[in-house]
A and B are shown apart, each in its own frame.
Chain A
């Protein structure tokens, strides 16, 4: 008796479901369609419930399916990214060598930072490197993008050439740079000597003293400009062509067109490029180690950078708390730049 009433009920639901499906298929209005689809899933779940008396609701089942998609990535992400991040914040206020018991230090690590000359040198070099690299890379990549945005033969080849330094491995290309800029034998200094008659003792020592940072900046501009050029190219291609047509009808020259059309139209792209560049500059490590590092990769005061000091303090001196305090300084700088970016974007959208 109960069985039959159940099957009748199921049949009723089934026909209602089919009707809704047919309506949903022909429905054009998105909102109505969504409602119909919800309706369908409700029918489906009641049929399910009647059929096998299931306890798990449709919603829970949907959640479980969604979580099953996320889980492989999220678990790895949690364990290897989220937990270490929380740990990093805590560690900055601790003293620990990795094996003995941890002790709480309060702000002592940060107090130590203010008197640490090597840290100050690292911070200073990182900032100088940023100040040099960011505008130069931006200008170079914008100029390159504007040139490559013209109708020129072999555009694709030039684009590939400009982009290749970006994907090439750092160890390989820094080793060429070190030979090209070799202080006594390299071709660059050779040219300076034979063509520009720079005297032997005045030849630049590219990888020692104050010139370290200059070499790092030159190298980075060369390596990374291709990447930002591609971003600028996309920005340029989104500028409507009519703007230029109208301008050239009004007799605006190339410079005026750049000043009044290209530059303002690219402002959001430029903003993004500058922020990305700044954040990436703060993270500099391998460029410094490869170009200016000694045999085992050690850096002197004139070439040290923040990430190098984090590495050194943690993995050479095993002063983990202090190393994390340095890391917090890095984080703070990146955070400030990110906040500026969000502010700028919000202002644009407002």
Chain B
């Protein structure tokens, strides 16, 4: 029997993986992947809790997050390509133009 706890544990594990990815990875593309994992970990949690309470708003929210994530990726990838064309690198540490 798969209970709510299982889903939440899965969600937490996914979230942790995403978090570690965000912190450790230096490649911008990998950062986007990590962000997607983070968002989807949260989605799993929403859907599971929404199902548990018999409330649709959790699942509604998951849809919103998917939509937001998609548009974020679209904008982010566009910027990433521009950056790559300009500098020939997708390393995070090269993005330091704002350093004072």
Same complex: no
